[in-house]
Amino acid sequence: MHSQDIIAFGEALAAQERATPSPAGTEVLVEVAHCGVCHSDVHLHDGYFSLGGDKQLDVRGGRKLPFTLGHEIEGRVAALGPDASGVKEGAAYVVFPWIGCGQCGTCQRGDEHLCNQGRALGINVAGGYSSHVMVPHPRYLLDFGDVPAGLAATYMCSGLTAFSALKKLGAAGSGDPLLIVGLGGVGMMGLQFARALYPDAPLYAADLDPAKREAAAKMGATPLDPSSPATIKAFVKETGGAFGAIDFVGAESSFQFANGALRKGGMLVVVGLFGGAFAMPIPMLPMRAITIAGSYVGSLAEAKEMLSLVKKGGVKPIPVEERPLNAASRSLDDLRAGKVLGRVVLTP
């Protein structure tokens, strides 16, 4: 098997070869056909997340080098362990990568993606920037129907992340505005799922990039320029404020914009991991009756629910650009520089 691995944090990925493993027990060996490049891969490649100012969250200790990134995986079953059943050798599936220990209370209640002893593919263990990946159990292989394979791969992170964040908002009232902040790959997914989950909600989308705002407008959203100080004031005057805002950037400026756009009783869900910090007077939380929540990818049950919606044609596709596996480093650099519209998908 061959892969593109981190050999030193922040440096170009390197081609690696190793013996192709044989699955044991319930394991399933998947031959990777597509693997999306996610912004969290950039942070793992850098070795840290920014916490604002000069503070950083060092994540270099969480994985041994060389390490294979990649958690948006689609491929065909190459081999089954002796105790693996329910999937067919040669059949294509997307892989739910957010795998927990399976034993703790978090996993037992169905929130494996939040497990403190996680075994997430491409995060804690080797992932899909590779010709092959080992999946611990067939239950993590999901049928994606007639969805294009490269696009289907992206639903296992960007799609699931957007879907789970939007589900946290709950029910919208008649005419309640919904605001999407940040129109990268996940934000674009968020637009599509927002339209599917909240078909009657006026949809607004904010991004610094005019091209991304134009793309959002073509998807039926009202574009907003967050760089203008007058934008929030005009938005609140026109709509009364958003009942829900999803921050797909997770920067200080995007958080402040989304928070400022909320109406009384609104909810802000923070998804993005760009970095930074925020402070606000504590009395404003009860006085405004707002909720600020974090959202990290999604559960296996949510992944199945999301795929069911996608397979029914309820979600329009985002732009997907396929590149060869040896373009992995360039793709991380492009994503780091904000040059990617939609999603880049590697094809090992």
The 10s digit of each residue's pLDDT in 119-136 is 999 999 999 999 999 999
Q: 96 CB contacts (<8 Å, ≥6 apart)?
A: 140, 141, 142, 156, 300, 303
Euclidean distance between CA atoms 219 and 221, whole angstroms: 6
Same domain assignment for residues 203 and 116: no
pLDDT of residue 292: 97
pTM attached to this predicted model: 0.91
Q: Which helix (H) or strand (E) holds 230?
A: helix 230-239
Mean pLDDT of all residues in 291-307: 97
Q: Is residue 9, in this structure, part of any structural domain at all?
A: yes
Range of the domain at 305: 2-158+298-347
- The pLDDT assigned to 52 comes to 78
Residues 29 and 154 in one domain: yes
Q: What is the DSSP letter of 26?
A: T
* Other beta carbons less than 10 A from residue 3's beta carbon: 27
- Asked if pLDDT for residue 229 goes beyond 80, the answer is yes
Please check whether residue 220 lies inside any domain of the structure: yes
Mean pLDDT for the stretch of residues 11-24: 97
Indicate whether 250 belongs to any domain. yes
pLDDT higher than 80, residue 62: no
329-338 per-position pLDDT tens digit:
999 999 999 8
Q: Where is average pLDDT lowest: 35-39, 275-279, 304-308?
A: 275-279
Domain CATH code at residue 83? 3.90.180.10
pLDDT at res. 122: 98
What mean pLDDT is predicted for residues 253-279? 94
pLDDT exceeds 90 at position 201 = yes
pLDDT at 164: 98
Kindly state whether residues 148 and 56 are assigned to the same domain.
yes
d(CA 28, CA 90) in angstroms, rounded, equals 11
